[in-house]
Structure 1
Amino acid sequence: MSVQIDALDRKILAALQEDASRSLDEIARLVGSSKTPVWTRIRKLREAGVIGRQTVLLDAEALGLEACFFVLIRTSEHEAGWQKKFLAALRARPEVLEAHRLAGEIDYILKVRVRNARAYDAFYQALISEVRIYNVTALLSMEEIKATTLLPLEQVPSGS
């Protein structure tokens, strides 16, 4: 479902992306509107699927999950049954924060967050015991330079 986004919607979405715990009064003040129209727009954006679930961002390192690996996967299996089993295995693993199917030589890339290299190896061993994988390359992130959940709203087309 396509939704029309205007300048006020962008301001509301930007305020929510920065801090969804803000009160409706605070959001209305930030975007230069009153509470009722802001509430109505938020409701419509939720109904249209633009706004999904709200959550809290946790600090992985503060929780002891210090190792972030990017896992490049090549497979020789492309049948629907294998893919279904592979996707189920990924969804069942809480260490997998992101998984993407790619175009090119690498079939999938995973972002995996674990305590350390030993925990990554346990994840790897469990994954390859569940599904057959042709080649796996794990890259340890030495430093996170930028991480954000903020979408570039200025690139969203305006409604007519």
Structure 2
Amino acid sequence: MTEQISRDATSPQTPVRLDEVDRKILSLLQQDASLSLDQIAERVGASKTPVWNRIRKLREAGVIRRQVAILDPEALGLEACFFVLIRTAEHDKDWAARFLKALRERPEVIEAHRLAGDIDYILKVQVRNARAYDRFYQSLISQVRIHNVTALLSMEEIKATSALPIGEAGRD
């Protein structure tokens, strides 16, 4: 999850038009962001300068937000992944500001989504174990009033990817 927990819903971004070369570049970068410009250019069948210009334009347009290393949580001892369902009875701006501030302050929250339906928010929380989750939970409810919290422990990760399905992205 990015540090930007909440986007400004009043200003939706216009989708960027992409051609086949742009999609190839993005696919390569999603697979391995450490590829050199030479490697990308070779794989898309273009020269280095036009590929560099395309990547620069994709960054400027906000298509490429940033490039990161994806870490293995288990290798770092963060073996417990909880999906936390949150219902609130409060929907005013002050409550939302306090709630978002609380989430931003907690590195354990690696994703947060506001939902439609019976559940207001879902969080993905990565911690060492159940005790660490309980500390997170106790801290969160001490900071902001929450009507109902349900925590679901992931027993097995079936699929995890940060790669977007860009095959049809940016087409008319």
> Are residues 1:122 and 2:135 paired?
yes
Which of 52, 72, 80 in structure 2 is aligned with 1:67? 80
Unaligned segments of structure 2, at least 5 residues: 1-12
Unaligned segments of structure 1, at least 5 residues: none
Distance in 1 separating the partners of 2:170 and 2:56 = 20
Deviation, 1:53, is 1.3
Which of 2, 5, 13 in structure 1 is aligned with 2:26? 13
Give the partner amino acid of 2:120. D
The answer for the alignment partner of 1:103 in structure 2 is 116
Distance in 1 separating the partners of 2:147 and 2:100 = 16
The answer for the alignment partner of 1:113 in structure 2 is 126
Give the partner amino acid of 2:27. A
Compute the TM-score of the two structures, normalised by the length of structure 2: 0.90
Distance in 2 separating the partners of 1:83 and 1:46 = 30
Which of 13, 36, 48 in structure 1 is aligned with 2:61? 48
> Are residues 1:23 and 2:26 paired?
no
Q: CA RMSD in A?
A: 0.9
Distance in 2 separating the partners of 1:97 and 1:150 = 16
Question: What secondary structure sits across from 2:159 in the alignment?
Answer: coil
Distance in 1 separating the partners of 2:171 and 2:91 = 39
Point out 4+ residue stretches in structure 1 off by more than 6 angstroms. Answer: none
Task: Work out the number of aligned pairs and report it.
Answer: 159
1:66-102 CA-partner distances (Å, limit 9, x unpaired):
0000000000011100000000000110000000000
Deviation, 1:157, is 3.2
Deviation, 1:32, is 1.1
Distance in 2 separating the partners of 1:155 and 1:147 = 21
Q: Give identity over the alignment, percent.
A: 72
The answer for the alignment partner of 2:98 in structure 1 is 85
Compute the TM-score of the two structures, normalised by the length of structure 1: 0.97
Give the partner amino acid of 1:56. A
